Structure 1
Amino acid sequence: MLLSPPDVGPLEEEMVVEAVRSGWIAPLGPMVEAFEAVIAERCGRQHAVALSSGTAALHLALLEVGACAGTVVLVPALTFAATANAVVYTGAEPVFVDCESKSGNLDPHLLESALRQLQGEGVFVAAVVPVDLLGRCADYTRILPICERYGVPVVSDAAESLGSSHEGRPAGSFGQMAALSFNGNKIMTTSGGGMLLTDDAATADRIRYLSTQARQPTVHYEHTEIGYNYRLSNVLAALGLAQLERLDEMIGRRRALRQQYVDLFAGQPGVTVFQHPGEEADNCWLTAVCIEPMEAGWSADDLRKALDAVDIESRPIWKPMHQQPVFAGARSFLSGESDHVFATGLTLPSGSALKPKDVDRVVATVRKFLGA
């Protein structure tokens, strides 16, 4: 049993078949344009550009704000590697900033300290990339004014948070640009894919140009700068259109599953459901629990092994970037919170495609473990 398997059905099949029969098989086409329009509207943006992945969206967004060799980009310590990898693709250096304990999201106090220190040293900070961890929007109410004071653009990594909101604004609406992901395990999927969101028409045009190999509008193939093969196909956009019609329903099932976990662990000493309470505005993409071993009498790894023994997937929350061997020695502003979340946290099966019998099996396994 997987953590978050794709949730697809007859509607997705119908729309993919429609795209195939239309003859628009190669990248671009009417389904791509329609998908961009509905995603932009859902996220409160003027423009959306469909791309091959969320990582591609981050890469192009960072290039657009000026990330390059000799600059740095501030990235949360607690995130998936793709956020930091996109920084490296531009030639810039990722600098990691620790998280808040309850949300796991970028700590605004540490962020301000990092910006003050780096700019005081004469370091050029090209961007700040907050991440909406596990579907919980970062605290943009505090982050955006800080970045504005220091004159640093914000690129929102909303890869995990489509359908969530913060202070009444939808995920993806924050920052100069934002990136969404439609990977196979996300809240909705196009198999693989992503989206760049912006309110600036010139930026959207520039991203489209770069993502189609930076081809000049001539009768022959003319290129004056390096481009990328980053566009989404018409067939995959059809899958996305169908998924988007079902998005709220799928979020509802994940939220109901979150509540089952809250009830399951209620009263267990040393155990809390991560990001609960306060998830009313979240899409509940993944549900995690944090276990304090000294209080609980068991660890996150003990529970993981019990689930693994019956073929139920669970995983620690993201291993912090400053602990990753590939980023050994990277500059970091740390409080220890991301290390603690990693040591105590465990994500549980959370997918909207899970059937009642699947959920019952997870609950029964956990109850047996707790009883033992």
Structure 2
Amino acid sequence: MTEQIYLSSPDVGALEEEYLVTAIRSGWVAPSGPDVDAFERELAARTGVDHAVALNSATAGLHLALLALGVGPGQSVVVPTLTFVATANAVAYTGAEPVFVDCDERTGNIDVDLLAALLARTDRRWPPVRAVIPVDMFGRCADYHTLLPVCAAYGIPVVEDAAEALGASLAGRPAGSFGHVGVFSFNGNKIMTTSGGGMVVTDDENLASRCRHLAAQARQPVAHYEHAEVGYNYRLSNLLAALGRAQLRRLDSMVARRRELRARYAKAFAGVPGVRLLGDDGDAADLGGNCWLTVIVVDPARSGWTAAALGDYLTRRHIETRPVWKPMHRQPVFATAHRMLTGAADRLFANGLALPSGSALGDEQMSRVLAAIHRFVDGDRALR
């Protein structure tokens, strides 16, 4: 039976087992404990911020960050249309409305010029913008050097959705540290995992305290259970934090492996007409991306084949691929949302394909992927 090759499998081993066993034997198996505290300290230090709050998902982190910033009904939050639905859902949880902005077609990140045009609007039919959530798409930081001054000019806080970008950087500054608050994901397919989990990071002590309070059902600090407002059960368990601490120790090597795989894809597609790697508008290593997923963008008029055709071909050979995120403005749940578009996200959705990129991918597996790609590109049309 042919082995299935996955897009981004969890990369866990002996060190993770050691940390988990130690945590279990310590007796700290509840949603609090020394590993949670240590994980928060270590992740904050890694990101270069003062505070971190461990949570059960990045979605929870986005939700709490927006609440802590005072986002609510009658307001809007700018969200890239090219993103996973959680970014927009978190806005909806607060009662605010997401407003979608198109992407830079070279990188997939938010189009900052379009964002500036949106913020300059005086159309009062749109709810006032209370926050902006740029997404570090596929592990590459957005253009914060341009974006932050644009938002600052309007006094609008930035919530950095760095769910895909732990270990990435921009000009030497770590992903997650650019906004007033940043959020990471530790889902099973991310750069590192706690099975499920997330983290809020910030230099704002009051914001971190507010997130921590809301994540623990907003319980008041008294002996009995006292609640003055609605809270949420968003805490990360001590066991999963132990797993995260082990993963964090291995983060650099896992990022290095993903970068190595991207370099092999770049070599494989070099010279193939009509194919480029998303985000390769400069030296990939110098750009600081963590290469969470390597995405190719195909121009069918030049290549003679489509991204979907390659995806189908690889799927039939037990190699998982995935289209680029379907834009939020195309999602039925957000069909009536305000948006400013150029068509860039639609084109990336039509022509982009994410390839197996996990750090657990072995050399033999990668060779199998590349061999299948070469056969397809060289004219194997049997399953095109």
TM-score (normalised: structure 2):
0.95
Q: CA deviation at 1:122?
A: 7.1
Match of 1:89 among 73, 89, 93: 93
Query: Partner of 1:43 in structure 2?
Result: 47
Task: Say whether residues 1:153 and 2:157 are aligned partners.
Answer: yes
- Partner Cα separation in structure 2 for residue 253 and residue 119 of structure 1: 48
- Partner Cα separation in structure 2 for residue 338 and residue 202 of structure 1: 36
> CA contact under 8 A between 1:77 and 1:97: conserved in structure 2?
yes
Query: Partner of 1:293 in structure 2?
Result: 300
Task: Say whether residues 1:67 and 2:71 are aligned partners.
Answer: yes
Match of 1:279 among 252, 270, 284: 284
Q: Secondary structure at the match of 2:199?
A: strand
Equivalent runs, 1:59-208 vs 2, <5 Å: 59-117=63-121, 123-208=127-212
Q: CA deviation at 1:121?
A: 5.7
Instruction: Assess, with a 3 A threshold, how the Cα gap between structure 1 residues 269 and 188 changes in structure 2: closer, same or farther.
Output: same
- Partner Cα separation in structure 2 for residue 352 and residue 199 of structure 1: 31
Equivalent runs, 1:330-345 vs 2, <5 Å: 330-345=337-352
Q: CA deviation at 1:278?
A: 3.5
Q: CA deviation at 1:279?
A: 2.4
Task: Say whether residues 1:364 and 2:366 are aligned partners.
Answer: no
Structure 2, unaligned stretches of length 5 or more?
380-384
Q: Secondary structure at the match of 1:117?
A: coil
Query: Partner of 1:229 in structure 2?
Result: 233
- Partner Cα separation in structure 2 for residue 119 and residue 130 of structure 1: 22
- Partner Cα separation in structure 2 for residue 336 and residue 217 of structure 1: 51
- Partner Cα separation in structure 2 for residue 324 and residue 361 of structure 1: 35
Q: CA deviation at 1:218?
A: 1.4
Match of 1:57 among 55, 61, 67: 61
Task: Say whether residues 1:353 and 2:360 are aligned partners.
Answer: yes
Instruction: Assess, with a 3 A threshold, how the Cα gap between structure 1 residues 119 and 128 changes in structure 2: closer, same or farther.
Output: farther
Equivalent runs, 1:234-245 vs 2, <5 Å: 234-245=238-249
> CA contact under 8 A between 1:136 and 1:279: conserved in structure 2?
no
> CA contact under 8 A between 2:297 and 2:348: conserved in structure 1?
yes
- Partner Cα separation in structure 1 for residue 245 and residue 94 of structure 2: 31
- Partner Cα separation in structure 2 for residue 325 and residue 246 of structure 1: 40
> CA contact under 8 A between 1:119 and 1:125: conserved in structure 2?
no
> CA contact under 8 A between 2:262 and 2:291: conserved in structure 1?
yes
Q: CA deviation at 1:22?
A: 0.2
Q: Give 2:303's aligned amino acid.
A: A
Q: CA deviation at 1:201?
A: 1.3
- Partner Cα separation in structure 1 for residue 123 and residue 166 of structure 2: 33
Q: Give 2:291's aligned amino acid.
A: C
1:315-363 deviations in whole A, cap 9, x for unaligned?
A: 1111110011111121100011111111110000000001111101101
Q: Give 1:22's aligned amino acid.
A: S
Which is worse superposed, 119-128 or 253-262? 119-128
Task: Say whether residues 1:325 and 2:343 are aligned partners.
Answer: no
Runs of 4+ in 1 over 3 A off after TM superposition: 118-123
Task: Say whether residues 1:255 and 2:259 are aligned partners.
Answer: yes
Instruction: Assess, with a 3 A threshold, how the Cα gap between structure 1 residues 118 and 18 changes in structure 2: closer, same or farther.
Output: farther
Q: CA deviation at 1:64?
A: 1.0
Q: Secondary structure at the match of 2:9?
A: coil
Q: Give 2:284's aligned amino acid.
A: E
Q: Secondary structure at the match of 1:74?
A: strand
Q: Give 1:361's aligned amino acid.
A: R
> CA contact under 8 A between 2:69 and 2:207: conserved in structure 1?
no
Q: Give 1:52's aligned amino acid.
A: N
Task: Say whether residues 1:246 and 2:253 are aligned partners.
Answer: no
Q: Give 2:292's aligned amino acid.
A: W
Q: Secondary structure at the match of 2:323?
A: coil
Q: Secondary structure at the match of 1:2?
A: coil
- Partner Cα separation in structure 1 for residue 241 and residue 122 of structure 2: 41
Q: What's the C-alpha RMSD, in Å, of the aligned pairs?
A: 1.0
Q: Give 1:278's aligned amino acid.
A: D
Q: Give 1:48's aligned amino acid.
A: A
Query: Partner of 2:311 in structure 1?
Result: 304
Instruction: Assess, with a 3 A threshold, how the Cα gap between structure 1 residues 201 and 282 changes in structure 2: closer, same or farther.
Output: same
1:169-189 deviations in whole A, cap 9, x for unaligned?
A: 100101111100000000000
Q: CA deviation at 1:118?
A: 5.1
Structure 1, unaligned stretches of length 5 or more?
none
Q: Give 1:91's aligned amino acid.
A: G
Query: Partner of 2:224 in structure 1?
Result: 220
Which is worse superposed, 119-128 or 337-346? 119-128
